[in-house]
Structure 1
Amino acid sequence: MMTAGPLVFTPDKRTHFRVPFTRTVKVRIQDKVHGQFAARNLSLGGVFLEGAVNVPVGEECRLELHETGNRISFIYTIRGKILRKEAGGVGIKFTGMAENCFMFLQTMILYSSDDPIQTAEHFLEEFAPAPVSIC
């Protein structure tokens, strides 16, 4: 389920870089499992899920990403909101997550990038502290 084209990050009207992300994501709405869907791409700001996600735009949801290693498993939970729908799936904007989940997403994006150094620099620019003015 890879998308065609280069994997290099290119800024567009979105504020976050996107990378291919081929994992299954469980979607919960109002504490009920709505289904599991294949992710197409991922950014620090959201994810695109493929398939017939029958949820209205604007609906709040909770996403679960399961990460399994040799000796340990994690479930990362992310709060989100359905931002857009199209024939192939839905775009979900992240609205909240724990710090360890944010670090996991950064790691996934760095590993999926063709240019991890440029990606890390973008992370630093994007999340740099605002300058402090002294009155």
Structure 2
Amino acid sequence: MSDTVTTDKLYLAVGQEAEPFTFPPLTRTDFVKYQGASGDFHPLHHDDEFAKKTGFPSVFSVGMLQAGLLATYVTDWLGVETLRRFKVRFADQCWPGDELTCSAIVTEVEETEQGRRVVLDLFCRRQSGSYALKGDAEFLLP
């Protein structure tokens, strides 16, 4: 097993960190747009009055919205066509106004007969420092 990968335009090594990216603050409109795309119309994610009656301070994001942002971040870097596995664990709720910063670190690099296998640890943090998501992904680069 090697601890580095070189592609035409990309050199990767175990321990290397990707450039973090901070998305614009989440809005209620983002929540509703995601709900429309996913078909999950639970009122906790768009009806402030309902959310408050249920004990929450406000509406909050569907966790898969953050997962989608994290997936976009990492596939923009290494390419969606090379993605082989993407896994996340939901860690904290996200609220209107939250700014999410995604980051990744290379944990494994291996030359295989099929290509260069790269495994990453993934993170999506709220501006408060808490993790909204943690996960990992595997890519098979040419």
Could you say which structure has the greater relative contact order, defined with CA pairs below 8 angstroms and 6 or more residues apart? Answer: 2
| Structure label with greater radius of gyration | 2
Q: Common fold, TM-score beyond 0.5?
A: no
The normalised TM-score by structure 1 is 0.23
- Greater share of helix residues, 1 or 2? 2
- Greater share of strand residues, 1 or 2? 1
The normalised TM-score by structure 2 is 0.23
